[in-house]
Chain A
């Protein structure tokens, strides 16, 4: 048995809140993400979803796939709408319901950043999950400030591909001093679920930056979503860590770190990149990861 087909025993909660009849593309990382999230949080959850793929995935009126109440919102308003929901629940004395804001990278890193900053600064009692597919996918794959260096999108065509690193959203949110921030990856559902359950138990603003590949936008087969997602972490491109009350902890320390090229070469959106760019990206990944290790050393449990 090769490493790729090795059987892994998952210990996911068995309950299914979300129904299979949704509108996601085949292999959509974001749809898997919601299924896991609702397994973790259960039916006593209210969703705030702005314009993004998930505004569509849920299904057309009058249908809904999520199995919990869902409030659609304007593109930049997920966190503000969720603020309203959580305050209404508080005012009406319903304190056993989780408010879950669920937005794309565009709705979080870009147009929704102001409302998100406001909501987390106020420490609103909610969980905010950004499912990061590194572009505006709903509108047909345009770059966002989460699109990584080197990537093709329709607004960063091959001749003018994306230059510059993606925004470090975790650092931005950590700077708001909220009780809990974490990264997660759909390739590690147990870790994601555990983090959501932990977030649910904490009062105040909780933020999860979730890595969720998009086969349509990243130009890979729908069967490769999980593999590519895992490669992102195995190459230290997307490290899994959490910051609880300012304390950094890298949750997955990769023993045999793979070369970033392995991750990049698995996707069509990086196909055009010359070797020197791969080297540059590798050097940036190394630098970012070192920085994270230093943060953990300085502000970790043992610090």
Chain B
């Protein structure tokens, strides 16, 4: 069924289609409409779930942890300050190997107060062990939410997923979303049946005191699960494409095959970049775009194979790791280790600053001119 939905509603309906048993969430702009619509969906019986109206994001994720450990499929959503407040439990979720799915509306952190798009919030959770996906449109938000449950719950993965969408550009923008019939979702995503849970017939303690004898291997296994995810994610994508006709990858290439100037980016900037690529192609510049969907696990091999034949590569980050560079730039450079293609890092759109097609065209101009070691800030008012 096709409906016109905001990105936030697409996320909420994705979780609804996943038939989550427990929702715990706390409002924050621009995530708020997720909490509101889910309250309605639960209240009117469209979703048979318990909605815990917690007093903070910290408790939201703690409640999801408790519920998921007890055998429920859970969902939460937040943004920015809320995600930062959860930080301790973001680690906890992954280390507890709980396949919780959380929507994060990418928003800047204060001060000054900004409710606009910026990926600093989610990138700051990089080393927690969560898988992270960045979406470009509302259909992708809906589909990714559904697939995230299937991927996270896979017995060889058992890791949580953070599904990211840009503040306002997606969260509050309406697009047509093709929603999948419930019986077909159910066939794709069966009822959650974890092998390990709080079970009075098989009492176990979860998260106990752990000596160096075991902790090291716990971490090793988490990393192995991320590696396994790199195999399993494409399988789930393929199954999804077969069932529902929409194709996804860990990355998405746009006119990359013969591209000389390749721009790597994520989130809504990817859509703008693809439009800019078309314009540049019309002008005779062989440009291409590579959208990164999965930031964790990072698809290094895939990125490398797509980028290695370019003449120059630019990476656009809507965040800055202060004192260094954009995080996706760092990852892309690491993936390109040993290759000789020069790489440029662009910082753009922080705190919701608009990134236009012109801005993106200007990046290719700069790539043709400047020293690749430079980190280039687009549109700074000096």
Contacts and interface: CB of A to CB of B under 8 A. Distances in A.
A111 to B, nearest CB: 11
B231 interface: no
B64 interface: yes
B342 interface: no
A69 B199 contact: yes
A87 B22 contact: yes
B71 A92 contact: yes
B66 A59 contact: no
Contacts of B71: 88, 92
A115 B52 CA distance: 12
Contacts of A45: 200
A73 B210 contact: no
B55 interface: yes
A80 B199 contact: no
Contact of B88 (A74, A83, A88, A89): A74
- Per DSSP, chain B at the interface is mixed
Interface residues on A, range: 35 or more
Given A91-B49, A91-B50, A115-B59, A80 B66 contact: yes
B62 interface: yes
Contacts of A59: 205, 208-209
A127 interface: no
A35 interface: no
Interface residues of B, number: 42
A117 interface: yes
Nearest to B56: A114
A82 B65 CA distance: 9
A66 B56 contact: no
Given A69-B198, A81-B65, A60 B209 contact: yes
B56 A68 contact: no
A37 to B, nearest CB: 15
B206 A71 contact: yes
Contact of B65 (A44, A76, A84, A124): A84
Contacts of B56: 114-115, 118
Contact of A64 (B48, B92, B208): B208
Given A44-B200, A91-B22, A121-B55, A80 B62 contact: yes
Given A63-B208, A69-B204, A69-B205, 5 more contacts: A43-B203, A48-B66, A60-B210, A60-B211, A71-B198
Interface of A: 23, 43-46, 48, 55-56, 58-64, 66-74, 76-77, 79-85, 87-92, 97, 114-115, 117-119, 121-122, 124
Interface of B: 21-22, 24, 48-50, 52-56, 58-60, 62-72, 74, 88-89, 92, 198-200, 203-211, 214
8 contacts: A60-B208, A60-B211, A66-B205, A70-B204, A85-B198, A88-B72, A90-B50, A91-B48
